[in-house]
């Protein structure tokens, strides 16, 4: 028995933050942003008291509608995020309450930009063991809540959004076929949010020092991402005897066009087989991969071989081989 993705849903908030908008906020320009990242605009969640759960709720509602199920049918909901509504309770609990998933239990999983992959791999185990019949995996982040809009190196990169997939058991030769996931905690020095945890709890000083925002040391992160994401994608192909012509789609985390290109080249996959929507959404962290699946859903065919790949803070990285189920 395998876990198959049987429905997907995605949501981005309506408000846009364009490169032209950012030109007015920091010393940057459209050409510089596009040539280095591939991003033209990103969606931002605005409104008092709105958080990650509110975007996730929309994505899960769409998923339930597409599959023709009630939230009451969900057994488990895992939410991958680095921008939870609160330190606790888990955002997954809040999502379940807001959608009326009264029979579900759930928890959050934190693996930064690889969070969705880690959560899909985790969720699929509950299906494979027969513990659960319907597992919803959410990748959602309100990155605008932890982005320093005076820091031109990071504020151009991130956007807000949510995506969700439904995992159900299948006896067919499809679903989550294999995964290779990796972490290296030594990378924590290059990409992190310094304050707000137990090491540096919030104080007037941490706020004044702008330590509640994303910090990124670009060069070491870029180098590790290029190698990590490309290597693990090639590794999962090799392990499953997949040749480049066998791969229908590469579904990469949308952090940077150059990292995506390096991964595709390593896999021997042409650009026509690579899902890219970074220009529209920027880096939505946990939501990038499910948002890609949503944008390309109409082009996916049953039996298509997909390689999902990501790299994120931690460092975390990995690849999942999915055989599309519908």
Cα radius of gyration rounded to whole Å, the chain: 19
User: SS in 3 state form for 168-200?
Assistant: EEECCCCEEEEEEEEECHHHHHCEEECCCCCCC
Separation of alpha carbons 46 and 32, rounded Å = 26
Residue 96: both structure tokens together: 């379940």
- Residue holding tokens 């494979």? 128
Strand partners, 80: 109, 139
- Catalytic residue from among 79, 96, 113, 174: 113
Residue 318: both structure tokens together: 């990995």
**Which residues contact residue 32 at a Cβ distance below 8 angstroms, ignoring those fewer than 6 apart?**
none
Active site residue 29: no
Active site residue 283: yes
Burial 121-145 (b: 16+ CB within 10 A, else e): bbbbebbbeeebebbbbbbbbbbbb
Q: Is the dihedral of CA 125, 128, 129, 130 positive or negative?
A: positive
- Catalytic residue from among 283, 292, 294, 305: 283
Do 304 and 217 touch, CB atoms closer than 8 A?
Answer: no
Alpha helices in 82-212 (DSSP H): 91-99, 115-128, 204-208
Angle at 100 between CA 95 and CA 103, to 5 degrees: 95
CB-CB neighbours of 188 under 10 Å: 11
- Catalytic residue from among 132, 253, 256, 305: 253
Active site residue 113: yes
Residues 203, 87, 189, 181, Cα dihedral to 10°: 180
- H or E, element range at 22: helix 19-25
Q: Which residues are catalytic?
A: 113, 253, 283
């Amino acid at each position: 028995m395998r876990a198959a993705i049987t429905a997907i849903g995605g949501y981005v908030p309506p408000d846009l933050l364009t490169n032209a908008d950012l030109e007015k906020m920091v010393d940057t320009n459209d050409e510089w942003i596009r040539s280095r990242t591939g991003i033209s605009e990103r969606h931002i969640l605005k409104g008092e008291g709105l958080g990650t759960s509110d975007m996730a709720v929309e994505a899960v509602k769409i998923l339930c509608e597409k599959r023709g199920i009630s939230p009451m049918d969900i057994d488990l909901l895992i939410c991958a995020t680095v921008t939870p509504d609160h330190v606790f309770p888990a955002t997954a609990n809040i999502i379940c309450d807001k959608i009326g998933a009264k029979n579900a239990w759930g928890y959050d999983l934190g693996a930064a930009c690889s969070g969705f992959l880690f959560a899909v791999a985790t969720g699929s185990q509950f299906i494979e063991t027969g513990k659960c019949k319907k597992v919803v995996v959410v990748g959602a982040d309100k990155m605008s809540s932890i982005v320093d809009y005076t820091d031109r190196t990071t504020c151009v990169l991130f956007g807000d959004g949510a995506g969700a997939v439904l995992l159900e058991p299948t006896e067919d030769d499809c679903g989550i076929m294999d995964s290779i996931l990796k972490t290296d905690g030594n990378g924590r020095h290059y990409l992190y949010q310094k304050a707000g945890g137990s090491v540096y709890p919030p104080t007037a000083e941490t706020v004044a020092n702008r330590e509640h925002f994303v910090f990124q040391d670009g060069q070491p992160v870029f180098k590790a991402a290029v190698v990590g994401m490309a290597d693990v994608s090639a590794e999962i192909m090799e392990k499953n005897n997949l040749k480049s012509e066998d791969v229908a789609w590469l579904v990469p985390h949308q952090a940077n066009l150059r990292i995506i290109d390096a991964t595709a080249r390593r896999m021997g996959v042409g650009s026509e087989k690579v899902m890219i929507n970074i220009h529209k959404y920027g880096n939505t962290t946990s939501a990038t991969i499910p948002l890609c699946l949503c944008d390309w859903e109409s082009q996916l065919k049953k039996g298509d071989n997909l390689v999902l790949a990501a790299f994120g803070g931690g460092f975390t990285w990995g690849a999942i081989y999915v055989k599309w189920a519908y």
